Structure 1
Amino acid sequence: MDARSCAVLALHWQVNVIEPEGFFGPMLAEPVARSGVVARATRFHAAAAEAGATLVFTRFTIPEDEGELVRNTGFMQAVGESQESFRPAAPGAALIEQMADQPNLVVDNQKLSGLAGNDLPARLRDRGIDSLLITGVATNLTVEQTARHATDLGFHVQVVRDCAAAADEQTHEASLANLALTTAGCPTATEALHWLSGGETPA
């Protein structure tokens, strides 16, 4: 596989999701820190870029006019009620420090899927990208939603299993079990980098 036809789609690596002071900090900051996923994903992103992959980061943000936010779930209702924390320029919306200088492209939206409510699918195809390696938090939320969506859009999708995390390990593993059936698989970072370097596609 030519790495130039692949993008790493890095989901919700932002202060609101990862750091203790962020909106989701009480739920996610401790398990994310305990998992070591930030350091692993940061290394993976850098190595994938070195191999020639495009790094695309998504942020969940809410502009003043609420953009395409639809309050049709408890999740969207909660973030809608605290939308000041999700303004594009708010501290919580910023990418975490470890990854701030990594993206080739940053795309904002108001959906759980990183490919919904924006023109990212078309922009990826315009770049000749047909394969996605997904990292992010949380595995059972934006990662799973985006991976399923991307698969339905026709992309070859794999979730990098040790570069994602959830609120607990059981939830993370259950989500990966679902994704193993609904996508092209869930390789480790090592396996994914082997593939990017011209090796056999990981299953």
Structure 2
Amino acid sequence: MVFDDFCLKSLIRPVVDFPKPGVIFRDITPLYQSPRAMRVIADSFIERYVEADFSHIGAMDARGFLIGSVLAHQLNKPLVLFRKQGKLPADVLAEGYQTEYGEAFLEVHADSLCEGDSLLIVDDLIATGGTLIAAANLVRRMGAQVFEAAAIIDLPELGGSQRLQDLGVPTFCLTEFSLTE
């Protein structure tokens, strides 16, 4: 990686008791306010995946769109958008999942992938893994496979990365935080 873990972590703002008491929210907006940080994040992912064998990039609504679109452009891959319920205009597949805060549904256009396609899924953060697991289930329902799930941040104590790996989805994150840091 081009810049060290400490520098990356120092640009991620902790917001205590958001969106509910007891939660430390990891705000990545300071990363996007730093052109150098964005360049380094994008370059780190591009370096990892430039020679990798997958056909599409999937980006998670909404913060995953920011890095997913950059990677799709730089790696010359089609971009598949995974959206919150009710945001896509054509025929969709939907998958329910549990979040840290309740229940939600994830949708994708039903014609986004074909049998044999392979997808790198990107998001800003892996917490409980619910959103990424829902995306992986949607990918599999279309006959495709998940190459890897990648994020800027992992919160390993919440178990999402382990849940994904237990389902056969490798994970990669640029940095991680404990729940108390």
Q: TM-score range by the shorter chain?
A: 0.3 to 0.5
* Larger helix share, 1 or 2: 1
> Given the two structures, how large is their TM-score scaled by the length of structure 1?
0.41
Question: Relative contact order, CA 8 A, sep 6+: which one is greater?
Answer: 1
Q: Choose between structure 1 and 2: higher strand proportion.
A: 2
